[in-house]
Structure 1
């Protein structure tokens, strides 16, 4: 069987930046073993398998608003092409204040004596969001050594599945300017650090919107690869996340 295969760097317009993902187009359903074998062969944190729901569907067909709907294991995902990128339609996830004493050991193990300004928890996504002190800048977050190895041993209740570190942007600083920065760690699911994470911005978006009094924001995820997102909170309680995409490999997979 020969399958079209792509590697796409998301949330960037530049190859070898952003979040790399393998995308495999399949005509028929593959069994779970095949999915896992292909994903291991690609050796990336994300591998997507896309197939038509109906034989008449066309992967390249455009509809009236340039939107494609993907039926995923996590629900429907809508994506539409914009002039300067691709817009993903996500729900918003609220956070609640988190008592420091309940997660103090986890935070201390991860970032040591780094000053923390706010801690929030998202029960919907099981992500712990830690806002660093406004006294730090982007360079500090980029170079911060985060120790993820002991975190699954410290937090074994299943309450936390991911750690978000975030920092307020620097007005009048670098160009382009960003409203906030972040990094994301999920050793509980085998991801020491994710290069760029669209889903965490469904949490970061509403948090920083309230803090900054803005509905339109620009964000940068400070991993080694780095990636940027434009965030737009909508009146219907959802959020549009826009980013670039660079195809860095196109070929055929033989299985």
Structure 2
């Protein structure tokens, strides 16, 4: 059986510089390759397993697969896979593939993607690629002692992401916790920047956790830890300044994101969680246009804004660092 040669890229998203931001694999499939895949893998399950194998070989948080719809050069089918599962929404891989397509299609200013989360669009705007994603629906599940969590369960959760409260109460270190059931993400808002930096998921402990609540058990598949910059102490800001070349006073909030349920210990820069965080911080800071700094080791910058129609604009830069063929 002859091999299929697939064009494949690695793109660093939410950054202008190589070796930072969030790297995504991008596979652009031509009609002939789609036909070969259909012949070799006749069932949808076989095709899905094939895409998972490629994602596992790339060994990045997500690898996306896209192909043209009809004869149009601005409309594509788009799917995203981690090394273990398919996901219904991924920001950085969408930004990554858009960066490649815009580089090839100089006359195209807007791209349309048909995905499991509906139609998504990406536009060029003064050098920034802006994705139009559906809003999340974050709801408070913990605030000032009122909580959907049992106290012991919440203590266990914080311990499993290395946010401890041995000499402090939960309310001393956690401001609020929200749950977005649409995207199955838990947003933990903390009171000290060092808690954002020291967060470290115990993957096996998180995967085996019983949240002792059916709602929580069903809807936690990712965790963000974040705080607003204007609530940082001067010591926090000095630490933050050392991490970025940007003016920290221009950044609105900082975050990190973990998803062992999807095979991702830490996502270096996560776009899909912004569908909820943009709403939360826009309301909290009374500000529409926001800048988020992802405080992973690779770091990244996101420009986010709740927009009309129940949508969120998530913008950033991207840079292609590798291009080749995968023979499979």
TM-score of the pair, normalised by structure 2: 0.71
| 1:12 and 2:63 aligned | no
Q: Which residue of structure 2 lines up, in the alignment, with residue 150 of structure 1?
A: 205
Q: Would the aligned equivalents of 1:195 and 1:223 in 2 still touch at CA under 8 Å?
A: yes
1:109 pairs, out of 133, 142, 160, with: 160
Structure 1: distance between partners of 2:72 and 2:186: 43
Q: Would the aligned equivalents of 1:148 and 1:185 in 2 still touch at CA under 8 Å?
A: no
Structure 1: distance between partners of 2:198 and 2:29: 40
Q: Would the aligned equivalents of 1:9 and 1:247 in 2 still touch at CA under 8 Å?
A: yes
Q: Which residue of structure 2 lines up, in the alignment, with residue 165 of structure 1?
A: 225
Structure 1's unaligned 5+ residue stretches are: none
With over 3 angstroms needed to count, the CA separation of the structure-2 counterparts of 1:144 and 1:107, relative to structure 1, is: closer
Query: What count of residue pairs does the alignment treat as equivalent?
Result: 251
Structure holding more strand per residue: 1
Q: Would the aligned equivalents of 1:106 and 1:155 in 2 still touch at CA under 8 Å?
A: no
SS at structure 1 position matched to 2:326: strand
SS at structure 1 position matched to 2:204: coil
Q: Which residue of structure 2 lines up, in the alignment, with residue 214 of structure 1?
A: 287
Which has the higher mean CA deviation after the structures are superposed, 207-216 or 47-56? 47-56
Q: What pairs up with 1:1-255 in 2 under 5 angstroms?
A: 1-28=4-31, 29=34, 30=37, 31-55=47-71, 57=73, 60-61=104-105, 66-98=109-141, 99=147, 101-102=149-150, 103-104=153-154, 105-110=156-161, 111-113=163-165, 115-133=173-191, 136-137=192-193, 139-155=194-210, 157-170=217-230, 173=237, 174=241, 175-177=246-248, 178-255=251-328
SS at structure 2 position matched to 1:197: coil
Larger Rg: 2
TM-score of the pair, normalised by structure 1: 0.89
Deviation at 1:182, TM superposition (A): 0.7
Structure 1: distance between partners of 2:116 and 2:21: 24
Give the alignment's Cα RMSD to 1 decimal. 2.2
Structure 2: distance between partners of 1:49 and 1:74: 15
